Structure 1
Amino acid sequence: MNILIIGSKGFIGTHASNFFQEKKHTVFGCDVVTDYTEKRYFQIDATNSDYQNVFKNNIIDVCINCSGAASVPLSLEFPLKDFNLNTLNVFKIADAIRLYQPSCKFINLSSAAVYGNPESLPIKESFGLKPLSPYGIHKMQAEQVLTEFNTFYNLKTCSVRIFSAYGNGLKKQLLWDLYHKFSSNKPIELYGTGDESRDFIHVSDVVQAIALIIEEGTFDNQQINVANGQEFTIRYIAETFKSILNVKQNIVFNNKVKKGDPLNWCADISKLKALGYQNKVSIENGIEDYINWIEKNMN
């Protein structure tokens, strides 16, 4: 297959590119980063993105959009930028597919942020969407864009609602912050009570899930949770980090909730499992691998 990965220089995009190249697919990369060495790479203007030439001049079987902003705090500070990256760009990509590659399968990386604080756990795709931040709203609007293009133009679309993805290459969010806080030899202060929870999924499992969706998905405007169906508290994650690093700092939670952050997440992954998904990386092994990656590459 010819697979176009938009956001190919980002966290998930890099892993997806490597995975599909190893599977002997023809992979096209697309991002705002300058790269003069990579074959089949398209640089996009970050201030005025245009994807039409990419689809006009190349046969693309599958487009995976891994691009966009991924920060709740920054979406609160810069909502227009977040809208452009997470909603408007999705419209531009879908419209280019409509015009030049109408048979192309389009996977857009959405987020569990579209759910907000669910009324119950585990979270099913059928639950109402109640995002708590501009980021979550813009991801929800991107899903509505895919609904529009599927309904009116018969585009093959799928929104994958990724929960808490982590792994080698991620230089932000909880695990990155934990490593640097534990490296300071000071008491560790974290937001919340410690009882907040997330459904973590290693990036290699995210890519495995995307590959299964490409092969087995219906692309009839699907929405699919991409997670492991396992709920871990932030306290457990922090204590696991502490144990692996073999350090003795106290972990203190300040009982403050960050604006836009949900309290508890755990996904129902029945849809994903029906496609054949089984997670391969446990949270404990994933954290240890992540710590090893940081120590090898950042020191």
Structure 2
Amino acid sequence: MNILIIGSKGFIGNHALNYFKQKNDTVYGCDVVTDYVDENYFQIDVTNSDYQIIFEKNKFDVCINCSGAASVPLSLEFPLKDFYLNTLNVFKILDAIRLHQPNCKFINLSSAAVYGNPERLPIEETFVSKPLSPYGIHKMQAEQVCNEFNHFYNLKTCSVRIFSCYGNGLKKQLLWDLYHKFQSNKTIELFGTGNETRDFIHVQDVVTALDLIIQNCTFENDIINLANAEEYKISYIAQLFSSFLNPNAEVTFNNITKLGDPLNWKADISKLEKLGYSKSISIENGVEDYIKWVQKLK
């Protein structure tokens, strides 16, 4: 297969690029980062992305869009930029596919942020979207764009709602912050109560799931949760870091909920399991491996 990965220099995109290369697929990367080494790499302008020539001059069986912003706080501060990267960019990609390669399968990386605070758990794909931030709204709008191009132009689309993805290479969010706080403080203060929960999935399991979707999904504007149907308290994740780094550290919570943050997440992954998915990395092993990776950065 010829696979184009847009956002190939990002966290998930880079893992996807390496995964499909190891499968001996012909893989092309695309990002805003300057790179003159790999001939299968397309650089785009961050201020005015244009995918027309890429799809006009090259043939792809699958396009995976891993690009976009991934920060709730920044979406609150810079909503226009977030809209451009997470919604308008998806429209531009699909319009180029429509004009030049209408048989190319398109996978858009969406987010569990579209759900907001669900009324019950586990969260099914059929739940009404109630995002709590511009980021979640723009991800929801990108899914609507996928529906538009599938419905009116018969393009093959699929949106995957990724829950709390983590793993080696991620230099932000909870695990990154926890590591550095445990390095510099004897008392660790975190937002919330500690009872907030997330459904964590390792990035290696995410790219494996993407492969299963390519092989088995109908691409009729499918919506699929990417998670492990497991609910872990933030306090438990902090305890894991404490056990690996500093068992004597005191972890406290300030009872402040950050704007845009949901309270509890646990996904229903029945759709994903029907495609053949099963977890390969436990949260305990994943966190330990992540800590070892960060330690090697020094």
Partner of 2:80: 80
Counterparts of 1:284 and 1:39, CA distance in 2: 39
1:247 matched to 2:224? The reply is: no
Alignment of 1:73-222 (within 5 A): 73-222=73-222
Cα deviation 1:215-262 (Å, max 9, x = unaligned):
000000000000000000000000011011243110000000000000
SS at match of 2:184: coil
TM-score by length of 1: 0.99
Tell me if the contact between 2:3 and 2:60 (Cα under 8 Å) persists in the aligned partners. Answer: yes
Distance 2:83 2:33 in 1: 20
Shift of 1:39: 1.9
Q: Is the 8 A contact 2:114 2:136 kept in 1?
A: yes
Asked if the contact 2:87–2:138 (Cα under 8 Å) also holds between the matched residues in 1, the reply is yes
For 1:32, the equivalent position in structure 2 comes to 32
Offset of 1:186 from its aligned partner?
A: 2.9
| Cα distance in 2, alignment partners of residues 73 and 182 from structure 1 | 23
Query: How many residues are matched?
Result: 298
Give the C-alpha shift of residue 140 in structure 1: 0.1
Where 1:127 maps in the other structure, the secondary structure is: coil
CA distance in 2, matches of 1:17, 1:75: 27
Residue in 2 that maps onto 1:279? 279
The equivalent residue for 1:48 is: 48
Counterpart CA distance in 1 for 2:15 and 2:112 is 20
**What percentage of residue pairs aligned between the two structures are identical?**
73
Report the equivalent of 2:228.
228
Matching residue's letter, 1:169: G
Per-residue Cα deviation, 1:91-120 (whole angstroms, up to 9, x for no partner) = 000000000010000000000000000000
Q: Counterpart of 1:124 in structure 2: which amino acid?
A: E
Q: What 5-or-longer segments of structure 1 have no aligned partner? A: none
1:185 positional shift: 2.9
- Asked if 1 retains the 8 angstrom alpha-carbon contact of 2:4 and 2:64, the reply is yes
The whole-number CA distance in structure 1 between the counterparts of 2:88 and 2:57 is 22
Instruction: Identify unmatched segments of 5+ residues in structure 2.
Output: none
CA distance in structure 2 between the aligned counterparts of 1:218 and 1:225, rounded to whole angstroms: 15
Q: Tell me which residue corresponds to 1:64.
A: 64
Distance 2:247 2:182 in 1: 8
Cross-structure match for 1:261: 261
The aligned residue for residue 293 of structure 2 is 293
What SS does the aligned partner of 1:178 have? helix
Aligned Cα RMSD in Å? 0.5
Q: Distance in 2 between matches of 1:204 and 1:259?
A: 30
Aligned 8 A contact 2:182 2:246 in 1: no
* SS of 1:109 mapped into structure 2: strand
1:158 offset after TM fit, Å? 0.1
Which residue number corresponds to residue 270 of structure 2? 270
Query: TM-score, normalising length from structure 2?
Result: 0.99
Residue 43 (structure 1) shift:
0.2
Amino acid at match of 2:272: L
Matched residues in 2 for 1:186 and 1:91: separation? Answer: 48
1:2 is aligned with what amino acid? N
Inter-partner Cα distance in structure 2 for 1:144 and 1:150: 10
Q: Which runs of 4+ in 1 moved over 6 A?
A: none
- Quote the offset at 1:84 in angstroms: 0.0
Counterpart secondary structure, 1:256:
coil
Letter in 1 for 2:254: N
Say which SS state the counterpart of residue 123 (structure 2) adopts. Answer: coil
Superimposed CA distance per residue, residues 136-171 of structure 1 (whole angstroms, 9 cap, x where no aligned partner): 000000000000000000000000000000000000
> 2: CA distance between counterparts of 1:162 and 1:5?
17
